[in-house]
């Protein structure tokens, strides 16, 4: 009787369950369930009250509904019996974080708090804590906190501490009643097995856990005296990735149709599990999860501090290595913007534009773009930056612009790779996962621009497969994640190799990209920041 | 019996005749005739031989066809008798120039030269003489020629000397056989009255005639020894604008249907006659002829050298004043590019975009563009520059971009105005003529950005009316052009007045425009020039 595992990928708008055969990683069934409330950005459903700008909440019960619907549906589709399933694993967006009671009850499910926006899940893209992040960063640099270097010098407004500080200062009562402040990744595992666990990945990348501790009480007191004991809401032993969090509770077994006691893996993050899914855990093999944005993860053999990276965490991708993460905040989003809002009639199609762009010799469009349509969270870590295109002429055509946009994101990745290499973290080859990997032109551009061989993840469901691999390890089917990934992971290496002639021309364009990047992103000319201020002031006046 | 004059405007693709009543400037009839050969850019019609890149020729007989068709048609439409027409005047694109025999026969009409591209008219936008212009400029600065300052420090590749030097070096035989090298403006007058004349306007702006002389034999010898005597092909007494060139020949009378002996005014240039048509000859009243590009002309009371201006000529707009000219090489062309090649479905319309753009508060789009889609012929005088847009985000929409493009051209005009004012040439108000004057949003933006009251020329046929005004003066109906313009010219002053609140926000955006202008146009970062080189190299390889 074949053994199976279930991986569940909790995304921004829906959750996907994937049933995978332990012996060889074959995917035998999958199902998606959309969150009923989606992303809560305009008004709080419970009361209809409007939310301030830049807020993004979720309702945690929507995550339970994924367990109730997607998992049974995937099992049905796979045509297997519950007793064949030996483990269940999850991955989640991050930092997606919520306040709960000591028993894991979300505060938004406590009756007198249902009308409080701060009692809900703050989704990763809740961006209203920027002022709090700014203070966190300023104080960290002032006090020369050792941990700040582990995050490229900047803590994001998206992460646990910034969101918690906003909670404290905007709704102190909800803050006080929050006995736990927990990543949704860990919370859903808690729902599955009835036991609170905390995984090293989110604790390290999103929770500023470094060298065995969170930021100090002294530091937190200086941020706000009432924030002094914040860490008590987080503190808990951390679990390595792929370890067993517990067994499925009777309640969760009823939701999912699986057997009580089925092994549940500790929580994990979408991009990070994808490295396992693509069997790219070896140092120097960088995984790019390319969708609306790109997340870059790569294991390294030594600890280094890389300017602008999102973070480095011991065992953050897999045990026994330093896991590095970096990101680009706009990639597919920019191409989508062009198609949806900027492409002329007849060109509003990625296929048409790609086909025409592929005909252009490198550099023939005469353009360079900076890929900052959604700010920059790479080396500059500034959400107020914006994009640009230079070199426009009366002869510029849609495919020229589209190609320049594709290239600009490749230049952004090259800049990240160079920052890693300068810090001593090798990046020898690229493995791409995510929706954009199907664009052959884009893939070839990345290979040429970075002068790296580029492989493709073999599964279209990278994160869910990665979660399933971790489930297999948690179930004891494999000794560790690396050996499970060897068997269950899927990748085609060297699918694209760099062409030296094209790479040489790209060197010229990249030099222009880098010069503009530094001029406009590092204080040479703060025009983009001033334009944002003018824009915001104009929008307020109107 | 009312007296009438005929103005003929020779444009890039067609010629227009306009019949105007002398007593009050009323326009009573008009007709257009398209040039049979249009702009000759790809192949020479006589032989089919391909032309090199950047060439733009015309066939001079197409100009005669305008006399043969448009003039009689306009007279018919006006319903007046030939004896009521007392004068005829023309304006022409410039520098549009041709080689002729001593009797005015175009070399391309000499039988053994019909197959020689260099024997034809070189249209203003023939841009293949850039290397020759570069040498003309370098040598002028090296020798500290006094005249170079009168042209903002740069002679254009479009002008008489650059085009003639190209002719000499690429087809010495045609150069040798060219007894005259003459602006089409003067040539068509020669066709009308049988007498060679040369007008002060084209001689000054396009022929480097300053302080009573052309560039010296010494200077020309250093350019090329065979160019030493070039000025003999130009030399001729110059005629002031509005003076009588002669009387209509019997042949031209037959072409036009007018009476032999009818007064013919000396030649003139489209933008310059428009100042008379808009009755804007007083110092400080700048006329902007806004179409695909913009030409700025303004009379000044004193001689000044303004960086980047096209030229200053004594009596170049009207006798008794220093006529200043400046220009922007891409204006309506850029808006047209956006509508034709960059606007999404539903937005490919100036009307739709303008209506939506008009709803935006100033600065709300967060964008700044540099209006260099067609290079820069204003302060920088560099055709290799290209355009850019900064501040793009995922929220940027078509009307945002369109408005930023409109504004960028207004910023370009403000830069020109400031250069004039810094040099002591007053610019107190603006008068707009040309096709773009019907865009109320654009006009208001110009008033706000420049903080100047803005009036509109009253005639939709500004150049042809201006030519007609000069005809009236040549016919002796008015003492001078200024008094004819007072009666026959048409303008609505102060149609748009600046709004201080908007002007203040524009000050902020303009400061960004200027900083980027200087950084990218004055050597801070030559990325645009390098991108052009990369582009050209890529296009050659492909």
pLDDT in tens, B330-355: 999 999 999 999 999 999 999 999 99
Q: B92: alpha, beta or left, given left = phi > 0 and alpha = psi -120 to 50?
A: beta
Residue A346 distance to chain B (closest CA, Å):
8
The alpha carbon of residue B496 is apart from the nearest alpha carbon of chain A, in Å, by 22
- Assign 3-state DSSP to chain B and report helix, strand, coil percentages, each to 5: 40, 20, 35
With a CB cutoff of 8 Å and minimum separation 6, the contacts of A111 are: none
DSSP 8-state class, residue A493 = E
Distance from CA of B450 to the nearest CA of A (A): 19
Q: How far is Cα of residue A120 from the mean position of the Cα atoms in its chain?
A: 20
Q: A99-108 burial, b if ≥16 CB within 10 A, otherwise e?
A: bbeeebebbb
ipTM metric: 0.90
Chain B residues whose CB is inside 8 A of the A337 CB are: 394, 396
Q: What is the 3-state secondary structure (H, E, C) of B97-136?
A: EEEECCCCCEHHHCHHHCCCHHHCEECCCCCCCHHHHHHH
Mutate to test the interface with B, among A339, A390, A515, A519 (most CBs of B within 10 A): A390
Q: What is the pLDDT of residues A445-481, one digit of tens each?
A: 999 999 999 999 999 999 999 999 999 999 999 999 9
Q: Quick check: A341 and B397 CB within 8 A?
A: yes
**Tokens standing for A396?**
């510029």
State the smallest CA–CA distance between residue A331 and chain B in angstroms. Answer: 11
The partner residues of A32 in beta bridges, in order of sequence, read A16
Tens digits of residue pLDDT in A42-64? 999 999 999 998 899 999 999 99
CB atoms within 10 A of CB A424: 13
Cβ contact, residue pair B387, A392, below 8 Å: yes
Please give the average per-residue pLDDT across A221-228, as a whole number: 98
Interface A–B counts its CB contacts (< 8 A) at: 170
* pLDDT digit string, tens, across residues B396-410: 999 999 999 999 999
| Mutate: best of B534, B536, B537, partner A, most A CBs <10 A | B534
Does A514 score more than 90 pLDDT? yes
| Cα A223 to Cα A168: distance, rounded to the nearest angstrom | 11
Q: Per the CB < 8 Å rule, is A348 touching B344?
A: yes
| Beta pairing class for A198-199 and A238-239 | parallel
pLDDT band at B443 (very low <50, low <70, confident <90, very high): very high
Determine, for residues B396 and A337 on separate chains, whether the beta-carbon distance falls below 8 Å.
Answer: yes
Cβ A366–B341 below 8 Å, yes or no?
Answer: no
What does the alpha-carbon distance between residue B145 and residue B131 come to, in Å, rounded to a whole number? Answer: 19
How close B49 gets to chain A, by Cα (Å)?
25
pLDDT, tens digit (0-9, with 9 covering 90-100), for A265-303:
999 999 999 999 999 999 999 999 999 999 999 999 999
B380-393: average pLDDT: 93
pLDDT exceeds 80 at position B541: no
Distance from CA of B92 to the nearest CA of A (A): 25
Beta pairing, strands A85-92 & A27-34: unpaired
pLDDT at residue B542 above 80? Answer: no
Residue B368: its chain A contacts at CB < 8 A? 527, 531
The predicted-structure confidence for B274-287, as pLDDT tens digits, reads as follows 999 999 999 999 99
With an 8 Å Cβ cutoff, are A363 and B393 in contact?
A: no
pLDDT digits (tens, 9 = 90+) for A316-334: 999 999 999 999 999 999 9
Q: Kindly state the percentage of chain B with pLDDT values over 90.
A: 94
Reported as a pLDDT band with limits 50, 70 and 90, residue A498 is very high
CA-CA-CA-CA torsion sign (B55, B61, B64, B68): negative
CA A101, A106, A109: angle at the middle one, nearest 5? 115
Q: pLDDT tens digits for A178-214?
A: 999 999 999 999 999 999 999 999 999 999 999 999 9
Cβ atoms of B5 and B88 closer than 8 Å: yes
Best of A329, A341, A519 to disrupt the B interface (most B CBs within 10 Å) is A341
Q: What is the pLDDT of residue A383?
A: 82
Query: What is the DSSP secondary structure assignment for residue A359, as one 8-state letter?
Result: T
Beta strand B429-433 pairing with B454-457: parallel
Candidate from B341, B363, B505 with C-beta closest to A344: B341
Best mutation target among B535, B539, B540 (most A Cβ atoms within 10 Å) is B535
| Distances from the Cα of A209 to the Cα of A150, A202, A231, A495, B238, angstroms | 10, 9, 10, 37, 85
| Nearest CB to B366; choose among A344, A362, A532 | A532
> What is the pLDDT, as a whole number, of residue A78?
97
Cα dist. B431→B459, B469, B477, B482 in Å?
A: 12, 18, 26, 16
Output the pLDDT for position B309: 87
CA A517 to chain centre: 23
CA distance B466 to A6: 82
Instruction: Residue B387: list chain A partners with CB under 8 A.
Output: 390-393
Q: Is the pLDDT of residue A355 over 80?
A: yes
Q: Which residues pair with A201 in a beta bridge?
A: none
Q: Are A295 and A462 in contact (CB under 8 A)?
A: no
Residues 6+ apart with CB under 8 A from B70: B8, B15, B16, B17, B31, B32, B33
pLDDT bracket for residue B116 (50, 70, 90):
very high
CA-nearest residue of chain A to B533? A366
For residue B263, what are the contacts with CB-CB under 8 A and spacing of at least 6? B86, B87, B88, B244, B247, B471, B474, B475, B476
Q: Under an 8 A CB cutoff, do B341 and A531 touch?
A: no
Residue (of A488, A65, A415, A55) closest to A242 by Cα position: A488
User: Can you tell me the distance from the alpha carbon of B407 to that of A539, in angstroms, rounded to the nearest whole number?
Assistant: 18
Question: Does the beta-carbon distance from A364 to B392 stay under 8 Å?
Answer: no
The shortest CB-CB distance from B531 to any of A342, A391, A528 is to: A391
φ/ψ (deg, to 5) at A313: -135, 130
Residue A165: pLDDT over 80: yes
Instruction: Please give the pLDDT value at position B330.
Output: 93
pLDDT in tens, B304-321: 999 888 999 999 999 999
Tell me the two tokens of residue A39.
Answer: 């992303």
| Contact present, B40 and B60 (Cβ < 8 Å) | no
Q: Angle at Cα B195 formed by Cα B192 and Cα B199, nearest 5°? A: 90
Going by pLDDT thresholds of 50, 70 and 90, the confidence category of residue A377 is confident
Q: What is the structure's pLDDT at B245? A: 98
Query: B387: nearest CA in chain A?
Result: A392
Mean pLDDT in chain A?
Answer: 96
Q: Do B341 and A397 touch (CB under 8 A)?
A: yes
Minimal CA separation from B130 to chain A, in Å: 18
User: For B531, which of A341, A367, A527 is closest by C-beta distance?
Assistant: A367
Q: How far apart, in whole angstroms, are the C-alpha atoms of residue A396 and residue A400?
A: 6
Do B286 and B298 meet the contact criterion of CB atoms below 8 Å apart?
yes
Q: Does the distance separating the beta carbons of B538 and A364 come in below 8 Å?
A: yes
Cβ of B530 within 8 Å of Cβ of A515? The answer is no
Quick one: pLDDT at residue A307? 85
CA A1, CA B411: separation in Å to the nearest integer? Answer: 75
| CB-CB under 8 Å, A391 with B389 | no
Of B343, B368, B532, nearest to A531 by CB-CB distance is B368
Contact B531/A330, CB-based, under 8 Å?
Answer: no
Peptide bond into B399 cis (omega under 30): no
The verdict on a CB contact (< 8 Å) between B368 and A527 is yes
Q: How far apart are CA A526 and CA B152, in angstroms?
A: 31
- Comparing CB atoms, the residue among B337, B365, B534 nearest residue A363 is B534
**Which residues, 6 or more positions from B184, have their beta carbon under 8 angstroms from its beta carbon?**
B10, B58, B60, B63, B92, B93, B94, B96, B97, B98, B121
**Mean pLDDT along residues B449-464:** 96
- Cα dihedral A368, A374, A377, A383 sign: positive
Are A386 and B364 inside 8 Å of each other by CB?
no
Using the beta-carbon criterion (under 8 Å), do A534 and B505 form an inter-chain contact? yes
pLDDT in tens, B132-190: 999 999 999 999 999 999 998 999 999 999 999 999 999 999 999 999 999 999 999 99
């Amino acid at each position: 009787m074949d053994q199976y595992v279930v991986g569940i990928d909790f995304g921004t708008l829906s959750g996907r369950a994937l049933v995978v055969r332990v012996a060889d990683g074959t995917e035998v069934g999958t199902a998606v369930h959309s969150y009923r409330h989606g992303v809560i950005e305009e008004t709080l459903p419970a009361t209809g009250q409007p939310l301030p700008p830049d807020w993004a909440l979720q309702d945690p019960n929507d995550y339970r509904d994924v367990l109730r619907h997607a998992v049974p549906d995937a099992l049905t589709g796979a045509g297997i019996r519950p007793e064949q399933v030996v483990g269940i694993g999850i991955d989640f967006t991050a930092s997606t974080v919520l306040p709960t009671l000591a028993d894991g009850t979300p505060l938004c499910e406590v009756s007198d708090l249902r009308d409080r926006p701060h009692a809900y899940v703050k989704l990763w893209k809740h961006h209203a804590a920027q002022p709090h992040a700014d203070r966190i960063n300023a104080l960290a640099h002032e006090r020369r906190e050792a941990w700040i270097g582990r995050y490229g010098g900047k803590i994001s407004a998206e992460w646990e501490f910034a969101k918690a500080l906003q909670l404290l200062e905007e709704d102190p009562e909800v803050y006080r009643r929050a006995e736990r402040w927990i990543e949704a990744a860990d919370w859903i595992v808690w729902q599955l097995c009835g036991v609170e666990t905390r995984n090293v990945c989110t604790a390290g990348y999103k929770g500023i856990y470094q060298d065995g501790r969170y930021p100090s009480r002294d530091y937190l007191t200086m941020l706000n005296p009432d924030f002094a004991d914040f860490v008590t809401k987080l503190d808990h032993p951390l679990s390595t990735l792929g370890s067993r969090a517990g067994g499925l509770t009777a309640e969760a077994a009823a939701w999912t149709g699986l057997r009580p006691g089925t092994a549940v893996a500790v929580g994990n993050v979408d991009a990070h599990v994808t490295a396992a899914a693509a069997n790219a855990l070896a140092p120097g093999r960088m995984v790019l999860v390319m969708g609306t944005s790109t997340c870059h993860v790569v294991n390294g053999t030594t600890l280094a501090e890389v300017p602008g990276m999102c973070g480095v965490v011991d065992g953050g991708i897999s045990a026994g290595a330093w896991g590095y993460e970096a990101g680009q905040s706009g990639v597919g989003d920019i191409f989508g913007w062009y198609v949806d809002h900027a492409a002329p009639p007849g060109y509003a199609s990625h296929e048409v534009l790609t086909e025409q762009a592929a005909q252009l010799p490198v550099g023939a469009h005469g353009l360079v773009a900076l890929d900052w349509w959604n700010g920059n969270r790479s080396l500059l870590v500034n959400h107020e930056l914006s994009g640009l295109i230079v070199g426009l002429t009366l002869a510029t055509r849609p495919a020229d612009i589209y190609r320049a946009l594709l290239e600009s994101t490749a230049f952004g990745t090259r800049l990240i790779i160079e920052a890693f290499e300068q810090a001593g973290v090798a990046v020898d080859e690229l493995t791409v996962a995510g929706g954009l990997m199907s664009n052959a032109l884009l893939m070839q551009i990345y290979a040429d621009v970075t002068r790296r061989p580029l492989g493709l993840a073999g599964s279209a469901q990278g994160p869910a497969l990665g979660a399933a691999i971790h489930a297999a390890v948690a179930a004891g089917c494999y000794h560790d994640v690396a050996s499970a990934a060897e068997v269950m992971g899927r990748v085609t290496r060297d699918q694209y190799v760099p062409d030296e002639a094209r790479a040489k021309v790209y060197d010229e364009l990249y030099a222009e990209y880098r010069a503009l990047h530094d001029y406009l992103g590092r204080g040479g000319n703060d025009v983009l920041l001033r334009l944002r201020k003018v824009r915001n002031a104009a929008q307020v006046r109107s």
